[in-house]
Chain A
Amino acid sequence: MSDNHNTDKIISTANKLRWEIGENLYDTLMETIYQNAQEIASKAITYSDKKPPFSLDRTLDKILTSKYFGLPIMLLMLALVFWITIEGANYPSSFLASVLVDYIHPVLKDLLTSLNSPKWLTGLLVDGAYLSTAWVISVMLPPMAIFFPLFTLLEDFGYLPRVAFNMDALYRKAGAHGKQALTMAMGFGCNAAGVISTRIIDSPRERLIAIITNNFSLCNGRWPAQILIATIFIGGLAPAYLAGIFSAAAVIFIAVLGIAMSLIVSWFLSKTLLKGETSSFSLELPPYRPPRILQTLYTSLIDRTIFVLWRAIVFAVPAGMIIWLVSNITIDNISVANHFIEKVNPVALLFGLNGVIFLAYIIAIPANEIVIPTILMLTVSQLGLTEFGAGSGVLFELESTADTAKILHSGGWTLLTGINLMLFSLLHNPCSTTIYTIYKETRSLKWTALSTFLPIVLGLSLTFLVTQIFNLLS
């Protein structure tokens, strides 16, 4: 008891003294710290008078963060990164597909058959789990292995804070915290990581805005999907020598749309649910440093590429099995998948999408990485395309993006479907890992639900609008 009495006394005395000192305490403290630091610094530090005749850092900053050139240069840099990724990924992709799918898949199947494995087990393991994994590797690995090292080099060089600097004014105008530009950049890698990174934002109000809008940054799982769909549907519109540039431009457009959405939603939230003052902060622009190329390659390959790929595989295995099951379990001679697809198709067409896409997004809630493989697998099983594989729910040999295109076109896909899938891939619910992270960071079901459903509502509204306009014009 006496313990409690004493601690209470300490606290009440502190409260009393606080009133006596008044409001200036914080200022007095800061002043003390600065004074002391300055005294010490003046004794120990000497600055040479000779200014370097030419400072590369300052010249670079003048250009990269310039009022007029800052944003265009940022877009150009992004475009260059995507273009290299798109151009570079096609060949290794088809090589991996031919090894993993053409060569190893039949071997595995024969092996299981020779071991007298029942047909359903072979189907589940080889046609479901193995093939979906093989597909994820051949589609995801090459773009990631090119994109991540390039992005990491930019990061190591010191470009990211400049991006934040360029974006800061925009975010502040939207009623959000300038640091949101940094958490957004982090979200371009992974939204779950982006949500965690919002801890650098002090004000709870602005932090919530940053969490809710982080999903508008395209993440690792969605870049390859955007790149693939853009290559097929947008690149296909242009003559061959311009296809890469067209596709890259389309991906940039989606990425920029995501940034615009995050600004608009931030602005909307700060005017309605999350009203309040914008706090100021100082952003330190670190010096440019020559990137350490070998180390960057190593860390971005090990930490990012392998990490993301592993996650994709972990989710691809059960998803592959589920796809095989829903395509092979039949009610009234029609597979469960097809029942769902037919029911949903009329609704989906309003949004310029289709039942396959909706089903794929449900199966792929755990990981955006497997959306495209799931869509292709379901399309094949729904159409019963045997040319590409061995029947229902089997992922098939894809020699190149041209084969992917063939399947999608025969599934009734048009330019409109491609555009809307790109939009919906940007604007739909976060993956389950991100949803869980949002809950852990906010400890609130309400904000978690808002972050989950708001993007879906926006995505459906936008695709609906695009579809109606597209239909009016054509």
Chain B
Amino acid sequence: MKTKENTNCANCPVHNVGHLKKLGINMDNFDFVVALAGNPNTGKSTVFNYFTGLRQHTGNWPGKTVTRAEGGFEYEGKKFKVVDLPGTYSLLSTSADEEVARDFILFGQPDVTVIIADSTRLERNLNLVLQILEITDRAVLCLNLIDEANRNGISINERILSKQLGIPVIPTTARSGQGINELLKIIYEIATGRYVCKPFKMKTHSSDLNKSINELVALLSEQFPDLPNKRWVALRLLEGDQSIINSIRSGELGNLKTAPSSGLVEIEK
């Protein structure tokens, strides 16, 4: 219901003109990388098209995007590259599309990951949100299809949700462009380091598991002191995830660093 307030402004193209410049497939010299992740059929491609002005085919069925699509936009003078990832229910199993999504968030190290959730099925979508927050610290949750949720008598308190998850939460209706401007603004703020996320990390109640994880994290810290998400890597190792084991062997994992977002440096100038 909150979104009603600025409906007219957010929908008016004039309102966006000063801030958003759709760059289509022109992605030269971008300042930041934005990844779009989420469950299948939550509107990732619709958001992608809105940002970039591209016409990535959208369809009302899960599994439409299996490869990643890329495009660009400019906001407040900064150039963003957007990557539309395939929709997945989790990052745990190993089908080709889930691996594309996971590897990009892990190895591609996007400056901001926009997690697009279907507000009518939020609880189920949270499973993926929590997994993504294990891998990356810079994320925003986009509660898409909020109009449908409201129509179905579901109301979501964004402030509580945001506090719980430790990341900004923006309700949107991407089909009509509602809330997209707020989303762009928060993406800009996270990318430039004006908004610092403190994402929720899952607690497990199994003490055995915690002990094993801690043991591996200690080893990982020795070898890869800069690795950003050691707990998650430790978990994948315990699971015997072959692609993570390979990336440890090849040293690819060692190249990941908790470098501050490239924009942070810019701000301080």
Contacts and interface: CB of A to CB of B under 8 A. Distances in A.
B66 A200 contact: yes
A202 B62 contact: no
Main secondary structure of the interface of A (DSSP, over half): helix
Interface stretch (A10-18, A101-109, A134-142): A10-18
B240 A18 contact: yes
Contacts of A197: 63, 66
Interface stretch (B6-14, B15-23, B76-84, B119-127): B119-127
A299 B202 contact: no
Given A43-B160, A161-B62, A292-B175, 6 more contacts: A41-B123, A41-B126, A48-B154, A160-B59, A160-B61, A196-B66
B9 to A, nearest CB: 22
A116 interface: no
Interface string A140-154: 000000000000100
Size range of the chain A interface in the assembly: 35 or more
Interface stretch (A22-30, A355-363, A423-431, A445-453): A22-30
Interface in B116-141: 120-124, 126-127, 129-131
A202 B93 contact: yes
A286 B62 contact: yes
Contacts of B220: 10
B61 A13 contact: no
Interface of A: 3, 6-7, 9-11, 13-15, 17-18, 20-21, 25-26, 28-30, 32-38, 40-41, 43-52, 152, 155-158, 160-161, 164, 179, 182, 196-197, 199-202, 283-284, 286-287, 289, 292, 298-299, 302-304
Size range of the chain B interface in the assembly: 35 or more
Q: Which of the listed residues B154, B160, B200, B208 has the most CB atoms from chain A within 10 Å of its own CB?
A: B208
A299 B161 CA distance: 36
A13 B57 CA distance: 46
B164 A40 contact: yes
Interface in B11-67: 40-41, 55, 57-63, 66-67
Interface in B82-101: 86, 90, 92-97
Contacts of A299: 55, 57-58
A47 B160 contact: no
Q: Which of the listed residues A3, A7, A298 has the most CB atoms from chain B within 10 Å of its own CB?
A: A7
A25 B237 contact: no
B55 A303 contact: yes
A155 to B, nearest CB: 5
Contacts of A161: 60-62
B215 interface: yes
Contacts of B96: 199
B148 interface: yes
Nearest to A155: B59
B21 to A, nearest CB: 21
Contacts of B209: 21, 25, 28
Given A21-B212, A44-B160, A156 B59 contact: yes
B165 interface: yes
Contact of B60 (A48, A202, A289): A289
B155 A46 contact: yes
A10 B237 contact: yes
A28 B204 contact: yes
B123 A10 contact: no
B262 interface: no
B249 interface: yes
B160 A33 contact: no
B127 A34 contact: yes
13 contacts: A10-B219, A14-B238, A17-B238, A18-B238, A20-B212, A25-B209, A25-B238, A28-B209, A29-B239, A33-B131, A34-B127, A40-B200, A160-B61
Contacts of A35: 205
A202 B245 contact: no
A199 to B, nearest CB: 4
Nearest to B93: A202
Contact of B237 (A14, A46, A157): A14
A180 B122 CA distance: 27
A217 B124 CA distance: 33
A287 B63 contact: no
Interface string B156-191: 111011001100000000010000000000000000
A44 B63 contact: no
Nearest to A44: B161
A48 B66 contact: no
A32 B59 contact: no
A157 B61 CA distance: 9
Nearest to A5: B223
B216 interface: yes
B60 A286 contact: yes
B162 to A, nearest CB: 9
A9 B86 CA distance: 34
A51 B41 CA distance: 25
Contact of B155 (A34, A45, A304): A45
B45 to A, nearest CB: 11
Given A10-B219, A156-B59, A199-B95, A29 B235 contact: yes
Contacts of A18: 238-240
A238 B123 CA distance: 57
Contacts of A20: 208, 212
Contacts of B40: 284
Contacts of B41: 284, 286
Contact of B251 (A3, A45, A284): A3
Nearest to A284: B62
A47 B153 contact: yes
Nearest to A189: B57
Contacts of A43: 157, 160-161, 164
